[in-house]
Amino acid sequence: MRKKLIAGNWKMHGTLASVSALSHVLLQSVSSTGDTSLVVFPTSIHLQSVSEILKDSPIAFGAQNFYPEDSGAFTGEISAPMIHELGCRYVLVGHSERRQLFGESDNLIAKKFLAAQTAGLTPILCVGETREERETEQTEQIIRDQLAFVLAEVGLAAFENCVIAYEPVWAIGTGLTATPDQAQAVHLFIRHWLSRHNERIAQKVQILYGGSVKSVNAGSLFAMPDIDGALVGGASLLAEEFLAICKAAG
């Protein structure tokens, strides 16, 4: 039985005061989240403060972004070993905002996936189709291509220690959530794709759904057999909402 994982992607939001306050509220409520794992992704500049609040707690924290070299002349970047040194366990890789707004290629995403694992971090690999791709029935092909590119670069064994997040681009930040059936169909497709390579890994990998997850729709999504949690954006900035989503997973 796969454990549920609820991830909060805080994106470029918050002040030092607001993210500290949010971390403290989550910390105080953590006993009520049961068997569900939690991880939050503050901005890089807030990560140090959040790590001091959440270290030694059941709430994990991670980084939204990094550059896949250990160190060097890469002005403005941070590395996976630096993130790991802060106590982070997870990093996001391949989020559609990074793909679309910052031009991240499949090649860079595969490099980041590998660099994360080499540093001892678990990558949450995000995949998903645009509205146009869904409307032209290319969803499965897009997801397969995004996964296959990473697989070809990193090898099957690397999928042993990763999380996959299915995030339809048309559902991110739009208030349009995939229906539980739509999401389940893609999650099952991903698990079948994995099982063609290795059944054990396919059964082990947690597949999260992301895209306008809120407390009102979380329960019906989590009731689906292949939805192992959520990657939550907007609703993760509101402690009560985020905790209600975590509760729905428990």
- Measured distance CA(47)–CA(62) in Å, rounded: 8
Q: Do you know the residue count of the chain?
A: 250
Instruction: Choose between 104 and 167: whose C-beta lies nearer to ligand PGA.
Output: 167
- Please select the residue that binds ligand PGA; options are 173, 197, 199, 250, rule is CB under 6 A: 173
Give the whole-angstrom CA distance, residue 53 versus residue 48: 9
Measured from the Cβ of residue 101, the count of other Cβ atoms closer than 10 Å reads 9
Kindly tell me which of 201 and 209 has the beta carbon lying closer to ligand PGA: 209
> What stretch of H or E contains 164?
strand 163-166
Spatial distance between the Cα atoms of 230 and 37, rounded to a whole number of angstroms? 11
Stretch that binds ligand PGA, among 19-27, 65-73, 147-155, 229-237 (CB under 6 A): 229-237
Region of 12-20, 61-69, 147-155, 233-241 interacting with ligand PGA (CB under 6 A): 233-241
End-to-end CA distance of the chain: 13
As measured in angstroms, the least distance from the Cβ of 56 to ligand PGA is 27
If binding is defined by CB under 6 A, does position 233 make contact with ligand PGA? Answer: yes
Q: Toward ligand PGA, which CB reaches closer, 36 or 212?
A: 212
Interaction mask 198-217, ligand PGA, x per CB under 6 A: ------------xxxx----
Active-site choice (46, 167, 187, 241): 167
46 is catalytic: no
Residue from 6, 26, 59, 231 touching ligand PGA (CB under 6 A): that is 231
Given 125, 172, 190, 243, the residue binding ligand PGA (CB under 6 A): 172
Assign residue 176 a region (left: φ > 0; alpha: ψ between -120 and 50; beta: otherwise): beta
Report the distance separating Cα 180 and Cα 228, nearest Å.
12
CB 69 within 8 A of CB 101: no
For 72, the token pair is 């060097």
Please tell me the number of Cα atoms within 13 Å of 163 on its side-chain side.
30
Q: How many residues bind ligand PGA (CB under 6 A)?
A: 13
Known catalytic membership, residue 95: yes
Q: Which of 95, 104, 133, 187 is catalytic?
A: 95
Q: Are 80 and 121 in contact (CB under 8 A)?
A: yes
Q: Does residue 14 interact with ligand PGA by CB under 6 A?
A: no
Q: Which is nearer to ligand PGA, 117 or 217 (CB)?
A: 217
According to CB under 6 A, which one of 8, 113, 234, 245 is a site residue for ligand PGA?
234
- Position 229 contacts ligand PGA (CB under 6 A): no
- Taking CA atoms, 140 is separated from 64, 146, 200, in Å, by 26, 10, 22
Q: Would you please indicate which residues are annotated as catalytic (active-site) residues?
A: 95, 167
Binding site for ligand PGA (CB under 6 A): 9, 167, 172-173, 210-213, 231-235
